[in-house]
Structure 1
Amino acid sequence: MPRCLHAAVLVLALAALSALAMAEDKTPSYDARLSDYPYPFDVHTFAFDSQRQRLEMAYMHLPAKDEKPTVLLLHGKNFAADYWEKTANHLHGQGYGVLMPDQIGFGKSSKPAHYQFSFEALAANTRALVDKLGLERVSVMGHSMGGMLATRYALQYADSVEQLVLVNPVGLEDYLRYVEYKDPDFFYQQELGKTLDKVRAYQKKNYYDGQWKPEYEALTAIHAGWINGPDWERVAWNNALTYDLIFTGAVANEFDQLSVPTTLIIGTRDTTGPGRGWKKPGVDYELGRYDQLGQRVAEQIPNATLFELKDVGHMPQFEAFDRYRDRLDKIF
């Protein structure tokens, strides 16, 4: 090979390696507390003792205007409080206060090596934060796993809850009635096998009916940073423990005990059914039929209103924000 051609090839190779290095440098890498990940509003920290350890709960708080009450927004399993941004801006624009905590094990909050996760414990932690902020009564709104937590909060602290709003919550069924129990290590091994491509593929299939928009990509950023980050094993273990929570923390058998006004916002295309891959032998019950579950649960709750969103999946606040916002305006 002529010397000049060899030099040109070398230059191109070096340029390609440089471009690859730059691309790798842009891959997010986040520690367990998302220190370098920006949230849409100022983040505060609430420190407290629980289970013989000091923990910190990160939260965002937009104070109420014009004497209006505060809405407590509880995030889902695969998310953190930052994904409430559009909902929070809308509610705050109407004068409501908005409180958005990251639960222990999630987002910017502590990721303990050992913690007995339960919805009762998470509700108690959240109530302590509400008390610390001097909020006597709140409306409680939860999405996905946050719907299970919101339900437990409303059952546990009914006297301080104005109303309960459930947005495509999981837990509308008692999963362990139909599926086998799995040790948290089962979920830990699944978490360790995650990749960004798998996260994106899961969300595309299960949240958006195979469709994908640029704004959906934002919901993968935290996962990408943690998978590439220095604390992934600790984060993965917390993720595993909170999967266990969905199965062992059933609220489906207590809907008839809710004593606060309750609204369900249900995207009827949703088919979320935790554990459908390991049903008990002989079980042919179909999990995750949200096109039927909304009506069924609304009939169990004493003072319930059901808003169904046809052809919308698990994420109405992203997939169909305008329609979701219209329902919010009928509630708040």
Structure 2
Amino acid sequence: MRLPLPATALAAALLTATSAFAAPSYGPELEGFEYPYPVRRHAFASQGQDLSMAYMEVTPERPNGRTVVLLHGKNFCAATWGDTAAVLAREGYRVLALDQVGFCKSTKPLGYQFSFNQLAANTHGLLAALGIGRATIVGHSMGGMLAARYALMFPDSTEQLVMVDPLGLEDWQAKGVPYQTIDAAYAAERKTSAAGIKAYQMKFYYNGEWKPAYDRWVDMQAGLYAGPGAERVAWNQAQTSDMVFTQPVVHEFDRLRVPTVLMVGTKDRTAPGGNRAAPEVAQTLGRYDRLGPEVAARIKGARLVMFEGLGHSPQVEAPDRFYAALLKELAAR
């Protein structure tokens, strides 16, 4: 992996990032962390349990008749989409930003079989309860994998699919990344700290560079691990890590039949489990500059947007560039 910083400078930066970075403490459903819009809840039964999905809804002053659903990544929450939702609403879109079961302000179930199919069904149930028959589905990171699964399961309900630096553009296990049991993943999750989150994101998401604005999102994630629901949070995160690793969507992109936009940062190097792979394998993983064009070519009629010089989270790293590109693609539809 090539980074713009010399090895010594990067090491120093990571050392700074991992020193004395204290995390706040939030409740198991992210109590104490403020969202930019009022949080509503969708109660439903699934797998023999009573669950609740948290979501924000932003309504425009001058509706254009379209709805956009925003799906968060594994290390993010609906709150991360707050500014994006505001921009979309100003353009007339009705916007929903969801927290999936097992994440953020939604229920953390003890015994739950996580799958992208199940999360897509949960999402569809919420939209149905709100009377939304068709929507544009925008997913980032893990949310991009979920958005693709949603479009495959519910094509008639998907007006447009937008995947932003989605995971699952490659099959890590097939490329040689060893499997990790959920128990092993849980043990690793229990060691999660704010410093570790910041160091990981700086290295893989932001190409070795950090801005103070990113700290809020580190606090959001780390606060769950530092709070009273830490064990349940870590268990759900281990389960969903297994879901991401064992349920790649890359093999099914050819089946997509909805208008699709793929947006990727050329500096994104995210590859879950890559740290378990042999060095010669690890260096080939997460090359979004290559994966983007390869995958877009497999999706009939797909439009590809490449963010030159950006990493895994363009909506966080360069929001103005991201908003302009997103609005252009939505309008093109």
2:50 is the counterpart of 1:54: yes
2:134 is the counterpart of 1:140: no
Q: CA deviation at 1:248?
A: 1.5
Contact 1:204 1:211 in 2 (8 A): yes
Q: TM-score, structure 2 length as denominator?
A: 0.89
The 4+ residue runs of structure 1 with deviation greater than 4 A are 280-285
1:232-274 deviation digits (Å, cap 9, x = unpaired): 0110101111100111111100001000010011101001111
RMSD (CA atoms): 1.8
Q: CA deviation at 1:217?
A: 0.5
2:259 is the counterpart of 1:261: yes
3-state secondary structure, aligned to 1:210: coil
Task: State the partner residue of 2:36.
Answer: 40
Task: State the partner residue of 2:154.
Answer: 157
295, 300, 303: which one pairs with 1:305? 303
Task: State the partner residue of 1:186.
Answer: 184
3-state secondary structure, aligned to 2:258: coil
Q: CA deviation at 1:301?
A: 0.2
3-state secondary structure, aligned to 2:29: coil
Structure 1 pair 70/185, CA: closer, same or farther in 2 (3 Å)? same
2:168 is the counterpart of 1:171: yes
82, 92, 95: which one pairs with 2:79? 82
113, 117, 121: which one pairs with 2:114? 117
**Most deviating of 141-150 and 271-280:** 271-280
Q: TM-score, structure 1 length as denominator?
A: 0.89
Task: State the partner residue of 1:238.
Answer: 236
Task: State the partner residue of 1:7.
Answer: none
What is the letter of the counterpart of residue 302 of structure 1? K
Contact 1:271 1:287 in 2 (8 A): yes
Number of residue pairs the alignment of both structures matches: 308
Question: Which is higher, the Rg of structure 1 or of structure 2?
Answer: 1
Structure 1 pair 28/278, CA: closer, same or farther in 2 (3 Å)? closer
Structure 1: state its 5+ residue gaps: 1-23
Contact 1:91 1:98 in 2 (8 A): yes
Distance 2:253 2:280 in 1: 27
3-state secondary structure, aligned to 2:28: coil
216, 228, 251: which one pairs with 2:249? 251
Task: State the partner residue of 2:70.
Answer: 73
270, 273, 292: which one pairs with 2:271? 273
Q: CA deviation at 1:280?
A: 7.5
Contact 1:166 1:265 in 2 (8 A): yes
**Most deviating of 254-263 and 217-226:** 217-226
195, 198, 204: which one pairs with 2:196? 198
3-state secondary structure, aligned to 1:233: helix
Distance 1:119 1:237 in 2: 17
Structure 2: state its 5+ residue gaps: 1-19
Q: CA deviation at 1:223?
A: 2.5
Distance 1:143 1:67 in 2: 24
Contact 1:267 1:308 in 2 (8 A): yes
Distance 2:34 2:63 in 1: 29
3-state secondary structure, aligned to 1:224: helix
Q: CA deviation at 1:198?
A: 1.0
Task: State the partner residue of 1:12.
Answer: none
**Most deviating of 113-122 and 172-181:** 172-181
Contact 1:164 1:262 in 2 (8 A): yes
Contact 1:63 1:70 in 2 (8 A): no
What is the letter of the counterpart of residue 40 of structure 1? P
25, 29, 43: which one pairs with 1:29? 25
Distance 1:175 1:206 in 2: 16
Contact 1:180 1:280 in 2 (8 A): no
Q: CA deviation at 1:282?
A: 8.8
1:64-120 deviation digits (Å, cap 9, x = unpaired): 543421001000000110000111111011010111110000010000111000000
124, 127, 131: which one pairs with 1:130? 127
Distance 1:248 1:206 in 2: 21
2:102 is the counterpart of 1:108: no
3-state secondary structure, aligned to 1:91: helix
1:158-197 deviation digits (Å, cap 9, x = unpaired): 0011010011111001222122221111211111111111
What is the letter of the counterpart of residue 220 of structure 2? I
Q: CA deviation at 1:325?
A: 1.4
